[in-house]
C-alpha cells in the first residue's frame, strides 16, 4: 500500500522544495508531486520551472498570502472529495516565513491527514554553515519594516542567549544591521546570501566590520543573518569607560547621542538608563 492510499478522503502534503539549486529536491518529493492530483503553489510560475525540470505534469493552482483564505476552502473541498493535494511555497519549507499555515490549519480542523515531505530550509542551511551553536536557537523571520518597531523588537530579545536567526531583504539589510548594532551591540554574525545558488556567499565577522565594508558586500538576493547569542551576565565597566565609548561613537561613527546610548547599552549589557545618565552628564559637562 502506498502513502497515497492510506486514507479514504484525500491527503494534504506539505512539500519542501529547493531554495536555489534544483538538485536539492528529494526523491520522495519528486515522487509525491508526480502521484498527487493537484499542486497548490505560492507562485505557479516559479514552481512550473521546478516541475518542468523533473518532467512533472501535475496540474497547478495558486495559493499565496493574498488569496490563501479564499483558495483554502476550495482546496479543502477538493481534498474532502478524495483528491490528494500538495502545497509548495516559492522555495524552501512552506510556512517558514511563507504562506500555508491557514490551509494546513484548515486541513487539521477538517480531520484531513497532513503529511510533511521534509527538505531544504534557508534557516537550517545557514545555521549549518555559520559555526554558531545550533542545538537551540531563536528564529525571528523578517523583522518589522519600521525602524522604531524593529528596534523595539530587538530590545525584547537583547538578553536572549540562544543563537538568533533572521531574514532580511536586500534593500533593508544595512539599516537592519545598524539597528542590531545599536541595540544588541557589536556581536559576531554570519551573513548568508543566495544560498545554494551560483553566487552563494557566506561571511562571518563583527557587525561593525560588516557595516564598515558595506560597499564591498553584494546586497542582492535573499539574505539570512545569524547573530551570536547574548551574554549571560552584564559586563563590568566604569563610568569613564562608558563616557569614552559614547564620545567615540558620536565622533567617529557620527551617531546621535540617542543611538550611541543604544549602542553602548547593547555592547555592554548595561541598562539603557545607566548609559543614558552618563550621556546626560557628558552633554552638560558634569562628572560624578
- Residue range 142-172, pLDDT digits in tens: 999 999 999 999 999 998 999 999 999 999 9
Domain closes at, from 99, 119, 139: 119
Distance, in Å, from the CA atom of 266 to the CA atom of 262, rounded to the nearest integer, reads: 6
Residue 99, pLDDT above cutoff 60: yes
Alpha-carbon gap, residue 185 to 207, rounded angstroms: 8
Q: Is the residue at 232 inside a domain?
A: no
Provide the 8-state DSSP code for 143.
Answer: P
Q: What was the pLDDT predicted at 145? A: 94
Q: How confident is the model at residue 221 (pLDDT cuts 50, 70, 90)?
A: confident
Shared-domain flag, residues 195 and 130: yes
Instruction: Report helix angle 257-268 to 239-251, nearest 10.
Output: 130
| Whether residue 114 is found in the same domain as residue 137 | no
Ranges 12-16, 27-31, 222-226: which has the least confidence? 222-226
Whether residues 74 and 94 share a domain: the answer is yes
Short-list 186, 189, 185, 176, CA closest to 131: 189
Domain boundary among 74, 90, 119: 119
Question: Among residues of the chain, what percentage have pLDDT more than 70?
Answer: 90
CB 246 within 8 A of CB 261: yes
State pLDDT tens for residues 42-63. 999 999 999 999 999 999 999 9
Question: Quick check: is 160 in a domain?
Answer: yes
Examine the fold and report which residue of 119, 145, 180 is the final residue of a domain before the chain moves on. Answer: 119
**pLDDT tens, position by position, 178-217:** 999 999 999 999 999 999 999 899 999 999 999 988 656 6
Same domain, 136 and 223: yes
Mean pLDDT lowest for which of 121-125, 146-150, 218-222, 233-237?
A: 233-237
In a domain, 262, yes or no: yes
Q: Does residue 99 share a domain with residue 34?
A: yes
> What's the confidence (pLDDT) of residue 236?
67
pLDDT for 2 equals 52
233 inside domain: no
| Cα distance between residue 223 and residue 215, in whole Å | 16
Q: What pLDDT is recorded for position 279? A: 83
What's the domain range around 90? 3-119
Number of domains comprising the chain: 3
Asked whether residue 199 falls in the same domain as residue 258, the answer is: no
Q: Is the confidence at residue 6, as pLDDT, over 60?
A: no
CA separation for the pair 277, 279 (Å, rounded): 5
CATH number at residue 79: 3.40.1010.10
Does 225 score more than 60 pLDDT?
Answer: yes
| Residue 216 and residue 113 in one domain | no
Kindly state whether residue 245 falls inside one of the protein's structural domains. yes
Return d(Cα 128, Cα 133) in angstroms, integer. 9
Residue 251 has pLDDT above 90, yes or no: no
Residue 21 backbone dihedrals phi, psi, to 5 degrees: -70, 120
Q: Is the pLDDT of residue 233 over 80?
A: no
Is position 82 within any domain? yes
Same domain, 61 and 105: yes
Q: Residue 162: inside a domain, yes or no?
A: yes
Please report, for the domain that includes residue 135, its CATH number.
Answer: 3.30.950.10
pLDDT at 114 over 90: yes
> Does position 286 have pLDDT exceeding 70, yes or no?
no
Whether 38 and 102 share a structural domain: yes
Q: State whether 17 and 111 are in the same domain.
A: yes
Which pLDDT score, from 0 to 100, does residue 222 have?
Answer: 82
Length of the chain: 288
Contact 76, 4 (CB under 8 A): no
250 and 164 in a single domain? The answer is: no
Which pTM was predicted? 0.77
* Whether residue 129 sits in one domain with residue 50: no
pLDDT computed for residue 1 by the predictor: 42
The predicted structure's pLDDT at residue 216: 62
pLDDT of residue 264: 84
288 domain residue, yes or no = no
The reported pLDDT for the residue numbered 3 is 54
Amino acid at each position: 500500500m502506498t502513502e497515497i492510499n492510506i486514507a479514504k478522503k484525500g491527503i494534504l502534503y506539505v512539500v519542501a522544495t529547493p531554495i536555489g539549486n534544483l538538485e536539492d529536491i528529494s526523491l520522495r518529493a519528486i515522487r509525491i508531486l508526480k502521484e498527487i492530483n493537484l499542486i497548490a503553489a505560492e507562485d505557479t510560475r516559479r514552481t512550473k520551472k521546478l516541475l518542468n525540470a523533473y518532467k512533472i505534469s501535475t496540474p497547478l493552482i495558486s495559493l499565496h498570502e493574498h488569496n490563501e483564505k479564499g483558495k483554502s476552502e476550495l482546496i479543502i473541498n477538493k481534498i474532502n472529495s478524495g483528491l490528494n493535494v500538495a502545497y509548495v511555497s516559492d522555495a524552501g519549507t512552506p510556512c517558514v516565513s511563507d504562506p500555508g499555515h491557514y490551509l494546513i490549519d484548515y486541513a487539521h480542523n477538517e480531520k484531513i491527514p497532513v503529511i510533511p515531505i521534509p527538505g531544504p530550509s534557508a534557516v537550517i542551511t545557514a545555521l549549518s554553515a555559520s559555526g554558531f551553536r545550533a542545538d537551540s536557537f531563536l528564529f525571528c523571520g523578517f523583522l518589522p519594516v519600521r525602524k522604531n518597531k524593529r528596534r523595539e523588537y530587538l530590545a525584547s530579545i537583547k538578553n536572549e542567549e540562544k543563537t538568533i536567526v533572521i531574514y532580511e531583504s536586500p534593500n533593508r539589510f544595512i539599516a537592519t544591521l545598524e539597528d542590531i548594532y545599536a541595540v544588541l551591540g557589536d556581536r559576531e554574525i554570519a551573513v548568508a546570501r543566495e544560498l545554494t545558488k551560483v553566487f552563494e556567499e557566506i561571511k562571518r565577522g563583527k557587525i561593525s566590520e560588516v557595516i564598515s565594508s558595506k560597499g564591498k558586500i553584494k546586497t542582492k538576493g535573499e539574505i539570512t543573518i545569524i547573530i551570536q547569542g547574548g551574554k549571560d551576565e552584564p559586563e563590568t565597566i566604569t563610568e569613564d569607560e562608558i563616557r569614552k565609548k559614547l564620545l567615540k561613537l558620536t565622533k567617529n561613527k557620527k551617531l546621535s547621542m540617542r543611538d550611541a546610548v543604544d549602542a553602548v547599552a547593547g555592547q555592554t549589557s548595561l541598562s539603557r538608563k545607566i548609559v543614558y545618565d552618563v550621556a546626560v552628564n557628558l552633554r552638560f559637562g558634569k562628572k560624578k
